[in-house]
Amino acid sequence: MVLALCRWMAIGLFLLTLTSCHPATLKTQAAQGSQLVLSTLQDPKTFNPALNQEFPNVFLFTAQGLTSENGVTGAVEPALAESWELSEDKLNIRFTLREGLEWSDGQPLTAADVVFTYRDVIFNPAIPTDLKDSLRIGAKGVFPIVKQLDLRRVEFSLPEPFAPFLRATAGPDGVTILPKHALEKSIHTKGNDGNLQFISLWGTGTAPEDLVVNGPYQIEQYVNGERILFRRNPYYWRRDAQGQPLPYIDRIFWKLVESTDTQLLKFRSGDLDVIGDVRPLRPEYFSLLKREERRGKFRIENGGAWSGTTYLTFNLNRARNQKGKPLVEPMKSRWFNTLEFRQAVAYAIDRPRMNNNVLRGIGTLQDSPISVQSPFYLTPQNGLKTYTYNPAQAKTLLLKAGFTYNAQEQLLDSYGNRVRFTLLTNAGNKNREAMGAQIKQDLAQIGMQVDFNAINFNTLVNKINGSRDWDAHMIGFTGGVEPNSSANLWVSQGGSHSFNLSPQPGQPPIVGWKPLDWEREIDRLFVAGAREQDEAKRKLIYGEFQKIVQEQLPVIHLINEVALVAVRDRVQGLKYSGLPSWGLWNIEELQLKE
């Protein structure tokens, strides 16, 4: 026990600088209760769940919705709502909240908070939240009407049947409930920039004591670039079968670590309790750690195929900023918006080699925007188009589209311009950095010059969803059972529709944006798929969606990982699976046993 406590202190959990383990400090540490040490690659961008556009995020610990999804089965289960009833015509759904729910400041959590969250925040046209996209119903994108029936009951009225509705209410990935008493004023007041104060409220500079949450943990401390400390929320509703309050673990230390290689070093030295919970364990780490399991007192768990995807995408946006300047350099825009160009890139990337070199051969080639665990996934055998590595075919497509080669085998467009663009990804993710380096090599074989650059994650997100100042980027997207959960990526006006991002609330205006014909068809399919109640018919609709994506290639899917996580033996109760985006999805049930 003394050695373990010295280890905690060596990583600076509560003190910034320590040189030794003193008895007085040991006593202080022991008084803090049980503590789990995790890691993440980047600082959070916001503490406001409605404005979140990143994963991982603090809301995995702090926020809950009316429902939740079981990370093993994918089933929708009660959370803040203890039950719900769906009308026979599928147009009304009534939720009943658990009795005695409270916020982290001790205030009652009632149906009024639910109405505030949905009607006043999520459905508010002045608030830029991606959560809107999964709740737009029908061709006109109408939102449900929500009303409070009493303190514990709330009813949603839908304009037409909407199959994905329950999953959209499942936190923390879906809508999580917000405190009306803490935030209501901010949606009726504008700041100096003309936007609602809500948009700038609860940024990462907010004092932790001013944050009001309903999840198993609340933020105790945030030190930029170093750590986030969470402490158990004493007002959290859930209890175990014996009536003991959850969560079991008193504190979570989320350490900000700059790279996955450094995470590995810290795990091997005992400074971390888990590695691979946010993104599956890298295969080379698996082969190294597997030999150390018994000596290191940890275990490696295999959750099967991971539900997330990794893809490369080009900036197809043809709009101009408010000064009339094109968002994408016109020369490059012509390349990126040429279908044969995108298809050539897909043929030129040697994904089998990428799988062997980056994932040590234990990954799979990803060809669909829908997770393989989903019943709506379309297999290549059933008609999904795939792009087998074929650089000769890539060159044929480029020549057909009017590109040429000079004497040095450099690719030129029809105006004689050298084809050169920048590919971005987030620094610190060694898998993506390795993928990007290979893509640079592969595309050089067909004459393209790729300037590959790994940058800070938050900077990357700002470029993608803010300034739109990028050529191409490689990033991941979380998956799951329900295709409509990714509507914010795939519908043309979605907040994460990065390859052709529409005007967004709270941002400077852009001029001349419009969706392409195939984007409009995806819009139509998402409306039809959400309206349809028969699962077999829904599968056909989403099959057409997958075919369009693979034909038009707004994104080029790369390789998919196996869900592997390394966990200290003292961490008990983990229900690990590749289905949820976060390996520790049942965090409140975890226990520490020395």
Residues in the chain with pLDDT < 70?
Answer: 1-32
Number of neighbouring beta carbons within 10 Å of residue 571: 18
Residue 317 has phi, psi (to 5 degrees) of: -70, 125
Residue 143 DSSP one-character state? P
Bridge partners of 557, per DSSP, are 311
Tell me the C-alpha distance between 129 and 199, whole Å: 9
Bridge partners of 39, per DSSP, are 255
State CA 67 to chain mean position distance.
18
Q: How confident is the model at residue 505, as a pLDDT? A: 86
Q: How confident is the model at residue 20, as a pLDDT? A: 33
573: Cβ contacts below 8 Å, ≥ 6 apart: 248, 586, 589, 590, 591
Tell me the C-alpha distance between 494 and 473, whole Å: 18
Q: How confident is the model at residue 403, as a pLDDT? A: 98
Residue 503 DSSP one-character state? P
- Encode 516-540: b = buried (16+ Cβ within 10 Å), e = exposed: eeebebbbebbbbbbbbeeeeebbe
Tell me the C-alpha distance between 483 and 133, whole Å: 12
Q: What is the pTM of this model?
A: 0.85
- Share above pLDDT 90 across residues of the chain, in percent, rounded to a whole number: 90
Q: How confident is the model at residue 484, as a pLDDT? A: 95
Of the candidates 560, 565, 39, the residue with the CA atom closest to the CA atom of residue 286: 565
Residue 267 has phi, psi (to 5 degrees) of: -70, -45
User: What are the structural domains, with CATH classification, of the chain?
Assistant: 2-58+191-306+562-592 (3.40.190.10), 61-185 (3.90.76.10), 309-560 (3.10.105.10)
| Intra-chain end-to-end CA distance of the chain, in Å | 8
Whats the size of the chain, residue-wise?
Answer: 594
35-40: strand order across its sheet: 35-40, 251-256, 227-232, 217-223
Residue 453 has phi, psi (to 5 degrees) of: -140, 120
Q: How confident is the model at residue 589, as a pLDDT? A: 98
CA distances to 373, 405, 570 from 383, rounded to whole Å, are 18, 34, 47
| Residue matched to tokens 């897909």 | 346
Of the candidates 465, 514, 421, 522, the residue with the CA atom closest to the CA atom of residue 130: 465
Q: How confident is the model at residue 594, as a pLDDT? A: 78
